[in-house]
Amino acid sequence: MQRKLERSRAHFRKAAKRLPLGVASNFRYWGDEDTFYIARAEGGRLTDIDGNGYIDYRLGYGPTILGYCDPRVDAAAQEGMRIGSVFALSTERELSVAERIAKMVPAAEMVRFSCSGTEAVMAALRVARAYSGKDGYVVAEGGYHGVFDAALWTTDMEGWAGEGDPDLVPYSGGVPRMLRSLVWQVPLNDADRLEDLFKRQGDKIGAMLIEPIQGNCCAISADPDYVRAVRELCTKHGVVLIVDEVKTGFRVARGGAQEIYGIQADLCTFAKAMGNGYPISAVAGRRDIMSIIGRGVVHGGTYTAHAVSLAAAEKTLEILDETDALETIAGYGERLREGLSGVLKQRSIPHCFVGHPALSGLFFSETPPAGYRDWKASDYLFYDTLAPLLVDRGVLIEPDSREPWFICEAHARDKAAGDCLDETVTAFAAAVD
Ligand code: PMP
């Protein structure tokens, strides 16, 4: 360990007495010695309470699309603050943000706002079940859809022996076992398996949840033919197709993964990038499906469409739609991939990048993965070894190869332009060596 973490360690010992694991989200706990705390952020960089600086490629798991403390978004948020907070009544701005989403995402004929990705997916699943009249739903191996009970089922890849299908197991204690009978898991990219499932169980299955680019699984990307087949099969069998764009939305393209794959979801979910870090999410979709909200189907919440988050989202989406921010982000992502690839090629280390330059999975195998099962065949232990060495050198990535690298506009427009990239590549080379 090169960097000093004394203050973080001392703080952890105190915090762990009052806060479970000393943190506010399990995913922020890095171990008793390695959990560290952030003092401030700016642009694409973080500083921890010991004064260590990082170029941040986690970006809060994706929300920071423009950069931390973006002056344009923060000015809008401050204007929102002057309006108030929440009123148990709506504001005009909800429509203007919904119009922007509809312009960017053709599937978004109607929109409802919530505060987190979890809430948006939870609402989508409820609406899909109510609309289809069927409680069952399908998820893909390696998918992640939030922290509500119906989503807290995970592919047990560590426990998979390599034959048959990996299990779908509860990701948490407290998830009622009886919910297991409502969820089916399919391997990504196997349309025959999905068709077979729909033929056998289609009368029970009301929804399919999919991330075409798996934002929590190395950014593994579904084959375009498969995604088109999923679209057709869902239509044929009366299954509501929910495209979970919590990570891909307003990041990989103005119209998200749906634009890249040329499909329209029945329902889609957004969060993260839509507010540049302010808590806001949305469920959107077909008019006939969304219209059942309020007609027997509940959607609500005290903090939905909070004035501050909504103002931040309005500005963030305006920037993403009307400027070249997304092109800048993808361009930096491309150059970063080239830089890292150069380091690995020089050292003859087999690797590939998957996903999208704005949301990149780095995979230590020659061939791109077709699904989560291929992750197990890759040299992920090399990644797990490399990640902490890189963090120690001031480049913050997740110490788990399944979390992609996120890019924000500020990486490309760093104060000393070009430095972010050079610094990253230099630190990467040192960590690899
Ligand atoms: N869906 C996907 C695809 C996600 O990546 C996440 C969060 N990583 C969620 C849903 C849940 O979002 P949140 O953490 O905001 O509740």
Domains of the chain: 6-68+324-432 (3.90.1150.10), 71-322 (3.40.640.10)
Distance between CA atoms of residues 212 and 406, nearest Å: 17
Helix, strand counts (H, E) of the chain: 14, 18
What's the gap in Å between 156 CA and the centre of ligand 1? 19
Relative to the CA of 121, which ligand 1 atom is closest? Answer: 10
Residue nearest to atom 9 of ligand 1 (CA): 146
Pocket of ligand 1 (CB under 6 A): 61, 116-118, 121, 144-147, 211, 215-216, 244, 246-247, 271
Residue 416 pLDDT level (bands cut at 50, 70, 90): low
Instruction: Give this prediction's pTM.
Output: 0.97
Q: What is the pLDDT of residue 150?
A: 97
Question: Does the pLDDT value for residue 418 go beyond 70?
Answer: no
DSSP state of 271: -
Taking Cα atoms as reference points, which of 280, 278, 296, 285 lies closest to residue 263? 285
CA–CA gap between residue 347 and residue 433 (Å, rounded): 9
Retrieve residue 164's tokens.
């048959």
> In 3-state terms, what secondary structure has residue 184?
strand
What are the pLDDT digits (tens) for 351-399?
999 999 999 999 999 999 999 999 988 999 999 999 999 999 999 999 9
- Rounded distance from Cα 145 to ligand 1 centre (Å): 5
Rg of the Cα atoms in the chain = 21
Here the tokens at position 153 are: 């089922």
Pocket residue to mutate for ligand 1, from 25, 121, 149, most atoms within 8 A of Cβ: 121
Ligand 1 center–CA 211 separation, angstroms: 11
User: Would you say the ipTM is above 0.90?
Assistant: yes
Give the per-residue SS3 of 66-82. CCECCHHHHHHHHHHHH
Average pLDDT value for the chain = 97
Pocket test for ligand 1, best of 154, 247, 250 (most atoms within 8 A of CB): 247
Ligand 1 atom with the smallest distance to the CA of 116 is 15
Question: What percent of the chain shows pLDDT beyond 70?
Answer: 99
Q: SS3 of 142, please? A: coil
Q: How far is the CA of 10 from the centre of ligand 1 (A)?
A: 31
- pLDDT value for 2: 83
Q: Could you tell me the CA-to-CA distances from 235 to 43, 113, 275 in Å, in that order?
A: 43, 26, 32
